[in-house]
Amino acid sequence: MGRYLRRRLIQLVPLLFGISVVIFGVIQAAPGGPEGSLLAAGRFVDPSVIESYRHRLGVDQPVWRQYLNWLGASARGDLGQSFSTSRPVTAMIGERLPATLELMGVAFVFAALVALPFGLFSALRRYTFADVLGTGASFLGVAMPVFWFGLLLQLIFSVRLGWLPVSGTGTVGASSLGDHLRHLILPGLVLSTRYIAGWSRYFRSSLIGVSHAGFVRTARAKGLTESRVVGVHTVRNALVPVISVMALNVADLFSGAVITETVFAWPGIGRLFVQGMFARDYPLLMGILLMGAATVILFNLVADLLYGALDPRIRYE
Amino acid sequence: MSRAESPGRIAWRRLRQHQTALPALVIFGLIAAVCLAAPLVAPYAMDVIDLAAVKQAPSRLHWMGTDDLGRDVFSRLLFGGRISIVIGLLAAVAGTGLGAVVGAVAAFYGRAVDNVLMRITDVAYAIPSLPLLIILSAYSRAAIVSMVLIIGGLSWMATARVVRAEVLTIREMPFVEAARVLGAGSGLTILRHVLPNALGSLIVGATLGVGNAIMIESSLSFLGLGVQPPTATWGNMLMDAQSTMAAKPWLTIFPGGAILLVILAVNFIGDGLRDALDPEKDPA
């Protein structure tokens, strides 16, 4: 296990290098360059002002030099200074991170709490009307555009029924824990929809696959009760691949959060990214992309390790 | 049995018998046909402004109502669908094609080529795709061609991995060896003998890719980064509708419903194709 982990960590080095080159290259390819945001308003700017601006940002240096500067600083945890606010990017990300983690956490837990029992129910009642209905619902969940689902829920629950707030994290002047939680319901639900659909189907087919296994027949044959056969022998084995997929999906929850946060004005990283995009704040965009990529890599590793930890047949050498 | 049924025929027959795939195929075909023929069939032009008929609820004259400028929502939906569906189809073909080439080349040549291509795939996989798409589409002042290239260029990785795995298996089969012994070059062997045998998963991947590309395109349009107004797309119609959602819900409901319906249909078709093309399944 230790050796496997060490090898995986060593493999990460070229991967991270490749990612940093791509991210740096994409931002370098930006039309207009960073001083574009100065000129964006279409006003006349003295060329010497632009020159000193470029110098202050360090973009007057050769490209390879800029890359090495950026890489060296990033490796030390310094993601540079935001163009739009002149504040450290790490501080800006740090401020927004709790909101995103809260939203992603709520969506993840909620999706798991709904998807797993639902998948089990479908597998036990497979090919019944309820199961077919569940399959239909999961197709609907996967095909649902996140932003439209968000708008619909706002329309129904906030505008028409008035039960829940439209957007934001709290009512101004009347914020309390309960109020905050009420703001969390719709975005959390929207973000979790796709995973409820995906995980419940995946758990269902995993359960059905395992239920044909020899050890399940053995468990039945030696006279165990049905609840023991299902609860101990089937469910535990069927959960292994599902848990690993859930870990993998943590990373793409982040992409979903970009849209969800935009629809619900949720002040997290996703919204910060969209704002940074319109402000051409390249250090900020690079920092967020780099952080997103690191999250993907981390949870890929977690998924593999979980698989090994949960399934004793898998040995990492 | 008089003569063997070709694999294509078997798949087509299975698909026709599929409970959800066939209706989905019909629905998708109808929507695509009507949208592609939008200039001929739409009751109004896409951007004709009628200030005498602004913000009307759905009626007999305007089936899905009108927007803030009196433009007919149904007509805009058809024109928007034309763009979304064309981008979806082309981006899926581009992404799947690129993935197939990368995967096949990596598996066929192996060693260093394989290693380099797969590490590139890993890198592309690890960067969150939506944020990257957002940046790239903001650069390009999105026209249809650039949207196709951007979306296709960031959705080839899964296909590359699947095709690589399949080709690794197929490569060892006797008929590939036979082709080589007969003097076929690598390119010909890949194109003529290896890829056709991986066609099943390519078709399924491409089909599901259409839905995925439409979802991405409309998400980007929704953020204001896709094909720009006044050209209608389903995503930018929704962006416009967001501010007036409460008073004019029809502006929100119809474009989103169209996206949902098309993606749903495409996914059902992909699902049916997967069943139909599965050689493990009993051919009956």
Q: Which of B134, B1, B49, B70 is nearest to A262 (CA)?
A: B134
- CA–CA separation, A242 and A91 (whole Å): 35
Angle, vertex CA B5, rays to CA B2 and CA B11, nearest 5: 155
Interchain proximity B123–A252, CB inside 8 Å: no
- CA–CA separation, B48 and B73 (whole Å): 11
Interchain proximity A293–B128, CB inside 8 Å: yes
Q: What is the ipTM of this complex?
A: 0.81
B184-217 burial, b at 16+ Cβ within 10 Å, e below that, comes to: beeeebbeebbbebbebbbbbbbbbbbbbbbbbb
Query: How many CB atoms sit inside 10 A of residue B57's CB?
Result: 11
CA distances to B77, B149, B154, B211, B259 from B106, rounded to whole Å, are: 42, 22, 18, 27, 35
Structural element, H or E, at residue A301: helix A282-310
- CA–CA separation, A128 and A42 (whole Å): 65
pLDDT at A110 over 90: yes
Interchain proximity B219–A292, CB inside 8 Å: no
Tokens read off for B113: 């080529």
Q: Per-residue pLDDT tens for A186-216?
A: 999 999 998 999 899 889 988 888 888 888 8
Q: Per-residue pLDDT tens for B132-169?
A: 888 888 777 668 888 898 899 888 998 898 888 888 88
Radius of gyration of chain A (CA): 24
Provide, as residue numbers in chain A, all residues whose Cβ is less than 8 Å from the Cβ of B139: 29-31
| Residue to substitute from B122, B157, B221, B225, interface A, most A β-carbons within 10 A | B122
Q: Per-residue pLDDT tens for A36-66?
A: 555 555 556 677 777 777 776 676 778 888 8
Q: Choose among B138, B211, B238: nearest Cβ to A151.
A: B238
Find the closest chain B residue to A251 by CA distance: B128
Q: Per-residue pLDDT tens for B208-222?
A: 889 999 999 888 888
- CA–CA separation, A274 and A264 (whole Å): 13
Q: Choose among A259, A289, A300: nearest Cβ to B128.
A: A289
Structural element, H or E, at residue A163: none
CB neighbours of B157 closer than 8 A, spacing ≥ 6?
B99, B121, B124, B125
Q: End-to-end CA distance of chain B: give it in Å, rounded.
A: 12
Q: Per-residue pLDDT tens for B86-96?
A: 999 999 999 99
Q: Which residue has the tokens 């910060």?
A: A272
Q: Per-residue pLDDT tens for A150-168?
A: 888 888 888 778 787 777 7
Query: What's chain A's length in residues?
Result: 317
CB neighbours of A37 closer than 8 A, spacing ≥ 6?
A83, A84, A279, A280, A281
% of chain B with per-residue pLDDT over 90: 11
**Predicted pLDDT at B284:** 46
Interchain proximity B127–A23, CB inside 8 Å: yes
**Residue B138 forms contact with A (CB below 8 Å):** yes
- CA–CA separation, A266 and A276 (whole Å): 15
DSSP for A265-276 reads T--SHHHHHHHH
Report yes or no: A250 and A108 within 8 Å, Cβ to Cβ.
Answer: yes
